Amino acid sequence: MSAPLTLHGYYRSSASFRVRIALNLKGLAYRTAPHHLRRGEQNSPDYRRINPQGLVPALEIDGQTFTQSLAILEYLDETRPQPPLLPKDSAGRARVRALAQLIACDVHPIDNLRVLNYLRGPLGQPDAAVAGWYNHWIAEGFRALEAALSTSGETGRFCHGDAVSLADICLVPQVINARTYALDLSPFPTLKRIADAALSLPAFERALPANQEDAE
């Protein structure tokens, strides 16, 4: 029996959510080590030794600890290839990675908790301005994503054809965030259709923040 997998995460963390989906899709059992981000537990010296960035997720697997959700997803896909999270052809892989990165690089980090805290703290922004910021960057990203998905013949039931990929794994947590902040999703019908299709799968549904043991 191999050592158990441990996922350092937080139920509301979108990046942790991505890794939970992938672990579920791959059928990998794991233990959760929750770090309460709003209480600052990710900044404890113990956790900083695991991840010097003090961000979640981190995944303990195969005797090592990996950080950065997209790097973890690629590692899982290389070492546990079934079902694949990337298409076989390099052009398809580039398309899927670009869709995933549109969210993981250009939307999510700008709306991350530490950034919102900086807006509230050092920049003294009121809640309304912080909420405006949050929705601005999601809407900006979703407009581009909707354009990319709705104009491509490669979009299928999911972001790339009819198989789940890294792109869907990044899309769904961002859609859930947008719903939490009551962003109107009607301008993004393709994206909403794909997120709904993904959420009908148990691997996505079980990974939802509300279904985690540390959910409040």
Among 7, 21, 56, 72, binds a second copy (CB under 8 A): 72
Site for a second copy in 77-136 (CB under 8 A): 78-79, 90-91, 93-95, 97-98, 101-102, 104-106, 108-110, 112, 114-115, 118-119, 122-123, 125, 129, 132-133, 136
Helices 14-25 + 166-180 axis angle, to 10: 140
194 binds a second copy (CB under 8 A): no
Give burial (CB, 10 Å; 0-12/13-18/19+) of 211: exposed
Give min distance, CB of 192 to a second copy, in A: 17
Instruction: Specify the stretch interacting with a second copy by CB under 8 A; choose among 6-14, 58-66, 186-194, 204-212.
Output: 58-66
Binding residues for a second copy, rule CB under 8 A, total 52
- Nearer to a second copy by Cβ, of 128 and 182: the residue is 128
Q: How many CB atoms lie within 10 A of CB 64?
A: 8
Helices 113-120 + 127-150 axis angle, to 10: 140
CA dist 53 → 47, 49, 84, 184, 197 (Å):
9, 9, 29, 33, 34
- Nearer to a second copy by Cβ, of 154 and 214: the residue is 154
Give min distance, CB of 203 to a second copy, in A: 21
| Cβ-contact 145, 98 below 8 angstroms | no
Is residue 111 classed as helix, strand or coil in its secondary structure?
A: helix
Write down the residue that tokens 């697997």 correspond to. Answer: 61
Compute the distance between CA of residue 165 and CA of residue 204 in angstroms, rounded to an integer: 12
Among 7, 21, 56, 70, binds a second copy (CB under 8 A): 70
Q: Which positions lie near a second copy, rule CB under 8 A?
A: 48, 52-55, 62, 64, 66-68, 70-72, 74-75, 78-79, 90-91, 93-95, 97-98, 101-102, 104-106, 108-110, 112, 114-115, 118-119, 122-123, 125, 129, 132-133, 136, 140-141, 143-145, 147-148, 151
